Chains A and B, each alone.
Chain A
């Protein structure tokens, strides 16, 4: 189960017009909990208009920076990122879970490796953490970063990257690819596509000697780069992915108000949606929502049937169910109407549930 901790904001620094770097300090003795691995992320929670919203942001600090820092780029219509960019202030307290994520490889001080990183826009945050940590802890390894942005003005951490180039002369190199700003070399303008990568691998990047590649950016860019890397002989075990889709689930609407009150009738009408198809079933209130679906030949997902694993999660759109036990969903999920269907028994005479939400 997740554990949220309080962290106080000790610094906020605008890296570009619409992105902030927030420095955080765990309070209440939770310092140890936030000992992160390079490339990990923090999940924050905050109430917006009475509804809890969770958002994950990657740590941009290196292991040896001695601080905890995340980068938050403002997304159009994004409640959390807009709040962080406009209203968050030094001295505020925020809540986050301990670092999570597996976007990293083990480091070895004796290693002599060549790393290649690809970052698109705010995808730089975990890659920055990785490259800083790697350069500091593997003195014989090199790191090349291909960094895609719309224009010079949208490059997060531009100066910091320049400083790193100077500090790690000959071991760290950055190739900026800009979508709209023309550059001296034509190759460096446009999108980082599979074809662009193939061009870069001809003279700019020694792809044959790359040990590990990291990719963090929007979906099409990740696909193109991965295809190019595989085409040049890298195996899936050598490519580390991190996708923070622009489509982090949007603000969920509040739980539907129960249309009808509970009644003493023992039967209920269950309207169940799975894989885009909806079935209306008449079932007993003593049968779980999951069993009702299974008894009607719907291939509803489940595993433990004990309320432990959460495989059978679905969302109640209308009506009310009662969960016999719940060891897997958190309060905020339950508030949004999510239930464990194996443990859910209809209370109202009609329930509408959806496995696709």
Chain B
């Protein structure tokens, strides 16, 4: 058996790693960033949504919202425990940061993240009432579904498995949002729902990152990315656009 292959070339050839004992330092760092981005986004998303539960128009809606908060927090926990395998203090991680903190609704932050956590920029914008939250959850839910499909193939097997378990749960959240939006539209108030779509559409679109990301090749060589930002965004534009069209709304 030839045993002289470096881990780097093993990864570049599509190799899979399964434990923290032999991950190269740069791989470790990029993997941790990827996981932190997911965990922070889920925790921030769940925290933001928790505040909106009581704004639900009926008990069914509140149950759905509460369930989304529960499951997003659980999804964060699944990935955080993998960060724990690498030494992260998981107990402190969840409590070290005000996950409900938001910027101004019109803050022009584009794709830049805050100083203190790795949540996707879109999670720094505050929700503006129940219908707005449902719209955001639908658009972001579809975006997460697209990203999960890519992340389910990452080269760190425990994380790929976590994402494969998380993907259908997140996808269901988007389904719940779609049903919720359908009911809201039946009750009228289409213009304000369209206004929410117009608000969230470019912000969610930006969450896929810039097309000219310089890290893409390095991440690809480590097996931490398969598709480009642009390819993922294009998929989402198509899928989310079709859902909106089905609801009689216009993509932003």
Q: Is the CB of A299 within 8 A of B215?
A: yes
Q: Is B18 part of the binding interface, using a Cβ–Cβ cutoff of 8 Å?
A: yes
**26 CB-based A-B contacts, threshold 8 Å:** A100-B85, A102-B18, A103-B19, A150-B1, A179-B1, A191-B1, A220-B1, A220-B3, A222-B16, A223-B14, A226-B15, A237-B161, A241-B16, A242-B18, A243-B15, A243-B18, A244-B22, A247-B22, A299-B214, A304-B97, A306-B116, A309-B88, A309-B93, A327-B92, A333-B87, A356-B25
Q: Is the CB of B15 within 8 A of A219?
A: yes
Q: Is A246 part of the binding interface, using a Cβ–Cβ cutoff of 8 Å?
A: yes
Render B88-99 as a binary contact track against A, CB cut-off 8 A, 1 for contact. Answer: 110011001100
Q: Is A41 part of the binding interface, using a Cβ–Cβ cutoff of 8 Å?
A: yes
- Quote the shortest CB–CB distance from A347 to chain B (angstroms): 23
Q: Is the CB of B5 within 8 A of A357?
A: no
- From B215, which residue of chain A is reached at the shortest CB distance? A299
Q: Is A303 part of the binding interface, using a Cβ–Cβ cutoff of 8 Å?
A: yes
Cα distance, A237 to B207, chains bound together (Å): 27
Q: Is the CB of A220 within 8 A of B22?
A: no
Cα distance, A330 to B117, chains bound together (Å): 23
Q: Is the CB of B16 within 8 A of A355?
A: no
Please provide the chain B residues from 53 to 82 with a CB less than 8 Å away from any CB of chain A in the complex.
none
Q: Is the CB of B5 within 8 A of A219?
A: yes
Please provide the chain A residues from 273 to 319 with a CB less than 8 Å away from any CB of chain B in the complex.
275, 299, 301-306, 308-313
Per the CB 8 Å criterion, the residue count for chain B at the interface is: 51
Q: Is the CB of B158 within 8 A of A102?
A: yes
Q: Is A245 part of the binding interface, using a Cβ–Cβ cutoff of 8 Å?
A: yes
Closest 10 CB pairs of A and B: A303-B36, A301-B29, A311-B32, A219-B10, A327-B89, A241-B16, A219-B5, A309-B88, A245-B22, A218-B3
Interface range for A? 35 or more
Q: Is the CB of A309 within 8 A of B32?
A: yes
Q: Is B249 part of the binding interface, using a Cβ–Cβ cutoff of 8 Å?
A: no
Cα distance, A107 to B187, chains bound together (Å): 49
Q: Is the CB of B88 within 8 A of A328?
A: yes
Which residues of A lie under 8 Å from residue B118 when comparing CB positions?
Answer: 303-304
- From B89, which residue of chain A is reached at the shortest CB distance? A327
Which residues of A lie under 8 Å from residue B36 when comparing CB positions?
Answer: 303-304, 309, 311
Q: Is the CB of A312 within 8 A of B88?
A: no
Please provide the chain B residues from 115 to 134 with a CB less than 8 Å away from any CB of chain A in the complex.
115-118
Please provide the chain B residues from 25 to 57 with a CB less than 8 Å away from any CB of chain A in the complex.
25-26, 28-30, 32-33, 36-37, 40
Cα distance, A226 to B118, chains bound together (Å): 33
Q: Is A140 part of the binding interface, using a Cβ–Cβ cutoff of 8 Å?
A: no
Q: Is the CB of B32 within 8 A of A236?
A: no
Q: Is the CB of A308 within 8 A of B116?
A: no
Q: Is A346 part of the binding interface, using a Cβ–Cβ cutoff of 8 Å?
A: no
- From A357, which residue of chain B is reached at the shortest CB distance? B25
- From A309, which residue of chain B is reached at the shortest CB distance? B88
Q: Is A43 part of the binding interface, using a Cβ–Cβ cutoff of 8 Å?
A: yes
Q: Is the CB of B21 within 8 A of A43?
A: yes
Cα distance, A310 to B215, chains bound together (Å): 20
- Quote the shortest CB–CB distance from A288 to chain B (angstroms): 12
- Quote the shortest CB–CB distance from B103 to chain A (angstroms): 17
Q: Is the CB of A236 within 8 A of B160?
A: yes
Q: A102-B158, A308-B92, A356-B26 are in contact. List 9 more A-B contacts (CB 8 A).
A: A103-B19, A218-B3, A218-B5, A219-B15, A243-B17, A303-B33, A305-B116, A311-B32, A355-B29
Q: Is the CB of A313 within 8 A of B22?
A: no
Known: A218-B5, A219-B10, A329-B87. A100 touches B22 (CB 8 A): no
- Quote the shortest CB–CB distance from A294 to chain B (angstroms): 10
Which residues of B lie under 8 Å from residue A219 when comparing CB positions?
Answer: 3, 5, 7, 9-10, 15
Q: Is the CB of B32 within 8 A of A241?
A: no
- Quote the shortest CB–CB distance from A290 to chain B (angstroms): 11
- From A150, which residue of chain B is reached at the shortest CB distance? B1
Interface core residue of A56, A226, A245, A275 (most chain B CB under 10 Å): A245
